[in-house]
Each structure stands twice: as structure tokens, then as C-alpha cells.
Amino acid sequence: MNHQPRSRSGPGAGTVVFMGARPAAICVVAAVSGIAWVWSWYTMYLEIHRWKHVSRSFRLNPGPPIPGTTIRPKPGRPLKTLYACTVGAPVVFVGAAVTGIVRTHRNRPQDKGQTPGPV
């Protein structure tokens, strides 16, 4: 992590500033949610266009019941997890990215020669 103190030149030359780096935890959350986002949308594409288990309006499109029974197929845990990842992963990714950007730029001094805010 880049939390080493460094000195500045200019108006705040005597102050110590900590580099605003993204913590490793936020990077991990962003990476995992980004991978889940790509995986879930690709798998949803396969569900809709190749396997045809889901319609284009994201509704379950079950096949006919098993012959000799009246059992209707229902979405199982994997498909419910896929729906949750398809919606949740982009939200978590954007939240982690925004949090990382805000943390990185939160204590940065302005370009007008102001001293940095409290650390």
C-alpha cells in the first residue's frame, strides 16, 4: 500500500501528506464483483440464447413437464443465484469503484495551492 509519508514543496512544505491509495480490500471486492459480473452476464446470455431456459424478458421458460407426471419445472438455486449475480454484481462493482475513487481523492489538496484537509 502507498501510505508512506512524503513531504511537499510549496505552501504546505512542512506538512506530512499520506498518499490516498485504494485499500486492498476495495480492490479485491471490485475484482471479485467484476469477475462475477462478467460470468453472470455471459451465463445469462447462454441461458437465453443457447440453452433457452430463460426467455428474453428474463422469465423462466420451462420445457414441457416430465412425461407421466404433472411436475412443472421451477428455477433452482443455481438459476436464482445467477439472477442475483446478474443484478447484484454490477451494483457492488460500481459501489466499490466509486468508494475507491472517493477514498483516493478525498484528502487531496486543490490545485489552487490550498493545504490538504485533515488526515
Element (H, E) at 62: none
**Residue 61, φ and ψ in degrees, nearest 5:** -115, 75
Q: Are 100 and 29 in contact (CB under 8 A)?
A: no
Number of structural domains found in the chain: 1
Residue 82 has pLDDT above 90, yes or no: yes
Cell of 81: 443465484
4-16: pLDDT as tens digits = 555 555 555 555 4
Neighbours of 82 (CB within 10 A): 20
Instruction: Enumerate the β-bridge partners of residue 18.
Output: 5
Q: Is residue 46 part of a domain?
A: yes
Q: Is residue 10 part of a domain?
A: no
Cα 8 from Cα 64, distance rounded (Å) = 71
**Residue-number span of the structural domain to which 89 is assigned:** 23-65+73-105
Q: Is residue 39 part of a domain?
A: yes
95-114: pLDDT as tens digits = 999 998 888 787 666 655 56
Q: Is residue 85 part of a domain?
A: yes
Q: Is residue 52 part of a domain?
A: yes
Residue range 9-30: average pLDDT? Answer: 66
pTM of the predicted structure, to 2 decimals: 0.69
Q: Is residue 111 part of a domain?
A: no
